[in-house]
């Protein structure tokens, strides 16, 4: 009897302790990632934001003003993976949106997985899973800590923005398929059929409302650089002769992959918020005695940024409108879960360079070159350097890395180390390249510093190339009009990081923080620990 009483007392104490501990934790973690958001957008546009969106996060949350990526390449797949895992590509394995698989002799996409089928969309858009990621996310750790009683739902226009945030144990990851159907879709990795609420959201009547004409939120004369709204640097939508406001979306969609047009306007971000809110309601997130996870990736900023550039009216208007989406999200969370009952963080998955042609027109040394052009330039000089006639030995270029053809090198009886040495010297002779390094140097040199350390943190032995390149500042690999990102320079690496809500104190710091710090910090807030994280816990943000 005494034993039974002791056991029941201990059991009751456990449940009391569990409940008290649970009450001390947020009901919901909301991870917001804004695709291609430079930190300076927060400061330069703050006067255009209202008091309840970005400015509310800054004023009532904790703003880490000097937050940087500590690796390259700074692109979407590695960005979301590093935010979610607290590691760099060296550890989590997502070294780019794509990379070259030597065993299969082909390029692979970061979330592709032929073991699973699409649910909605077409075959390519749904054969996806998080299995190319080699370590757990903070959501995975939370899931395991709750004995799988918590929920993780991930939402994003891009599949990689959704899948790589949720991790291996997500209950659902959803992304947008436009073209002729306009659907939010998923993969059989997560489920066999879309939930009823997703099917209802996918109704044509619902999604058509996001095809609204895109005119500026405020009078266009109040925007910086409004005089240059129509210029020769920006992308032209098919069916439109200029790059100036307004954009008649319904008319243009016929010439631009139909419903894909939604994601290339600010209404793609609006659709993402609305879908995320429906996920909270229908998945009952934040309503159980455990902490749930919701990840939201806003990607219309990236599509628009690539096409129109940093200083464009289009980019300014997109962030003004996104500010209202943040306002809408916060108001909903306050109403449904209660103020100070959830914790949210906001960051970016990379920054971006201003359009090089625009910079050049203003006297800045900047340009875009194609990877094909680089490959041909190397091939033209390599025969002379090797003193033998060979086919182009470059198999693939991506992520500022070169993959060589082992088959061709063996066929010609060449020594690979010598070939790499010759190519490195050729690359360093080009005026648009600062340095080039062999994989052996990057993988095996200790105490690297600066840009070389960024390359090392982003380098994976099995997946990365044979040679890594550092382009000069303001130089990008890109074809056509517009711009891109991927470098280790500040315009690509400096992104926002704001924590807000339960357990977070008000304040700011100019101390350097890094993207891998986010996941272990969130895990610490939840009383958990991440074993494979290489980031630091930011204790100074906690109340």
Which residues are part of the catalytic machinery?
76
How many angstroms separate the CA atoms of 29 and 528, rounded?
Answer: 14
What beta strand segments (E) does 442-503 contain? Answer: 467-471, 475-477, 497-501
Give the strand pairing for 342-348 and 497-501: antiparallel
Torsion angle defined by CA atoms of residues 275, 319, 109 and 396, in that order, rounded to the nearest 10 degrees: 170
Which residues have C-beta within 8 Å of that of residue 118, sequence separation ≥ 6? Answer: 124, 125, 126, 127, 128, 185, 187, 188
Exposed, middle or buried: residue 334 (CB in 10 Å: 0-12, 13-18, 19+)?
Answer: middle
**């954009």: which residue's tokens?**
247
Q: Is 18 helix (H, G, I), strand (E, B) or coil?
A: helix
Considering only CA atoms, which of 76, 485, 49 is closest in space to residue 310?
485
CA-CA distance, 436 to 471, in Å (whole number)? Answer: 9
Q: Tell how many helices (H) and how many strands (E) occur in the chain.
A: 22, 18
Kind plus residue range of the DSSP H or E element containing 32: strand 28-34
* Residue 17: exposure state from Cβ atoms within 10 A (0-12, 13-18, ≥19): exposed
Half-sphere exposure of 274 (CA within 13 A, CB side): 17
Per the omega criterion (within 30 degrees of 0), is the bond before 246 cis? yes
Distance, CA of 345 to CA of 66 (rounded, Å) = 15
- How do strand 106-109 and strand 118-119 relate by DSSP bridges? unpaired
Closest alpha carbon to 486 in 465, 471, 497, 466: 471
């Amino acid at each position: 009897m005494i034993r039974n009483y002791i056991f029941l007392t201990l059991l009751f104490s456990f449940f009391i302790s569990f409940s008290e501990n649970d009450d001390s934790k947020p009901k919901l973690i909301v991870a917001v990632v804004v695709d291609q958001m430079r930190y300076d957008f927060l400061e330069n546009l703050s006067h255009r934001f209202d008091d309840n969106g970005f400015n509310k996060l800054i004023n009532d949350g904790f703003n880490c003003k000097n937050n940087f990526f500590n690796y390259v390449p700074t692109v979407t797949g590695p960005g979301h993976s590093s935010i979610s895992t607290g590691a760099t590509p060296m550890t989590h394995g997502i070294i780019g949106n794509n990379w070259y698989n030597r065993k299969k002799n082909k390029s692979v996409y970061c979330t592709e997985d032929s073991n699973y089928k699409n649910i909605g969309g077409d075959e390519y858009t749904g054969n996806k899973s998080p299995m190319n990621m080699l370590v757990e996310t903070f959501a995975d750790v939370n899931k395991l800590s709750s004995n799988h009683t918590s929920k993780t739902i991930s939402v994003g226009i891009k599949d990689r923005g959704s899948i790589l945030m949720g991790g291996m144990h997500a209950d659902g990851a959803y992304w947008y398929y436009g073209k002729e159907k306009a659907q939010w879709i998923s993969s059989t990795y997560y489920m066999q059929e879309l939930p009823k609420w997703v099917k209802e959201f996918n109704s044509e009547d619902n999604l058509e409302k996001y095809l609204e004409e895109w005119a500026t939120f405020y009078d266009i004369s109040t925007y910086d650089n409004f005089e240059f709204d129509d210029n020769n640097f920006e992308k032209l939508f098919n069916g439109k002769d200029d790059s100036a406001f307004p954009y008649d979306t319904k008319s243009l969609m016929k010439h631009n992959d139909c419903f894909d047009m939604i994601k290339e306007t600010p209404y793609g971000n609006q659709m993402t918020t609305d879908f995320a809110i429906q996920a909270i309601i229908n998945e009952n997130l934040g309503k159980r005695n455990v902490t749930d996870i919701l990840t939201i990736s806003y990607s219309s900023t990236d599509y628009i940024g690539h096409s129109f550039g940093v200083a464009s009216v289009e980019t300014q208007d997109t962030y003004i409108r996104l500010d209202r989406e943040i306002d809408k999200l916060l108001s909903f969370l306050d109403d449904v879960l209660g103020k100070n009952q959830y914790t949210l963080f906001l960051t970016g998955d990379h920054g971006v360079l201003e359009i090089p042609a625009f910079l050049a027109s203003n006297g800045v040394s900047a340009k875009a070159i194609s990877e094909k052009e680089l490959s041909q330039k190397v091939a033209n000089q390599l025969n002379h350097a090797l003193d033998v006639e060979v086919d182009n030995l470059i198999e693939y270029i991506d992520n500022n890395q070169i993959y060589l053809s082992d088959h061709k090198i063996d066929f010609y009886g060449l020594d690979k180390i010598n070939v790499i040495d010759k190519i490195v010297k050729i690359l360093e002779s080009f005026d648009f390249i600062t340095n080039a390094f062999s994989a052996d140097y990057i993988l095996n040199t200790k105490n690297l510093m600066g840009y070389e350390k960024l390359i090392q943190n982003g380098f994976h032995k099995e997946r990365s190339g044979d040679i890594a390149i550092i382009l000069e500042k303001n130089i990008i690999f890109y074809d056509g009009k517009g711009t891109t990102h991927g470098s280790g320079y500040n315009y690509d690496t400096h992104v926002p990081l704001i924590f807000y809500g339960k357990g977070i104190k008000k304040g700011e710091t100019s101390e350097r923080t890094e993207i891998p710090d986010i996941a272990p910090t969130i895990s610490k807030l939840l009383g958990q620990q991440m074993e494979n994280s290489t980031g630091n816990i930011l204790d100074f943000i906690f109340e």
